Each structure stands twice: as structure tokens, then as C-alpha cells.
Amino acid sequence: MDVTVEVVGEETHEVTVGDDGTYADLVKAVDLSPHEVSVLVDGTPVPEDQPVEVDRVKVLRLIKGGRS
């Protein structure tokens, strides 16, 4: 399945996942950690271990670099 992954405020990626792909797999495919983001489907957070059933998600980064 092809999924559009929009990292809010950053960039959009096209990711292909298998039939048993999870939202954590999508996050890893765009080089982020499931621990630093929340995946949203229609504005609602979804568990990272849930199978992907939609063709578009938003990824909201919860942690972003600070000042040095």
C-alpha cells in the first residue's frame, strides 16, 4: 500500500508498506522515532502498533531541537 506521510511543518513523503505494516513502520520510513512523534489519522492519534489502513497520515513531531 502506498501512503502519503505528511510531517507537519516539514515535508511530505510517499511510503510503501506491506499488508502487515504498522504506523511505527511509516514513522521509521521517514527517519523519525516513534518515541518523538504522534501519528494522526483524520486528526486523531493512532497507536504505533496498529496496522495501517489509510492512504494518508500526518506525523506531528513532539520533540524538536532547542537553542544551543
Distant-in-sequence, close-in-space partners of 20: CB < 8 Å, separation ≥ 6:
51
Q: Tell me if 31 sits within 8 A of 3, measured CB to CB.
A: no
CATH placement of domain 2-61 = 3.10.20.30
Predicted TM-score (pTM) of this structure: 0.87
- For 27-40, what is each residue's pLDDT tens digit? 999 999 988 999 99
Residue ranges of domains in the chain: 2-61
- For 45-64, what is each residue's pLDDT tens digit? 999 999 999 999 999 998 76
H-helix or E-strand spanning residue 61: strand 56-61
Cα 44 from Cα 61, distance rounded (Å): 14
pLDDT interval class at 42 (50, 70, 90): very high
Is 70 exceeded by the pLDDT of residue 65?
no
